[in-house]
Amino acid sequence: MRELDRITLNPDVMGGKPCIRGLRVTVGTILGLLAAGHSHQEILDTYPYLEPEDIRAALTYATWRVEEREVTLSAR
């Protein structure tokens, strides 16, 4: 998924939370703003260094993560 190329995970940036292109803007921040009713344009105006593709990448990443299923492995 090319969109996921924009999502970075670095333990030295925002505590390792998924961020947009290494910036200090987390996927959670973008999703929270969208959930609160902010438009894509409002987000881009608030964070002028973001690009429309960054918002799409955050949504793609979130969708991928919620579809993921964790399986507990038993010790043998």
Q: pLDDT per residue over 17-44, tens digit each?
A: 999 999 999 999 999 999 999 999 999 9
Q: Which H or E run includes 20?
A: strand 19-20
pLDDT-based confidence at 72, cuts 50/70/90? confident
Q: Does the pLDDT of residue 11 top 60, yes or no?
A: yes
Q: In this predicted structure, what is the pLDDT of residue 54?
A: 97
User: d(Cα 59, Cα 7) in Å, to the nearest integer?
Assistant: 11
Which CATH architecture best describes the domain 2-64? Answer: Orthogonal Bundle (1.10)
pLDDT-based confidence at 1, cuts 50/70/90? low
Alpha helices in 1-76 (DSSP H): 27-35, 40-46, 52-67
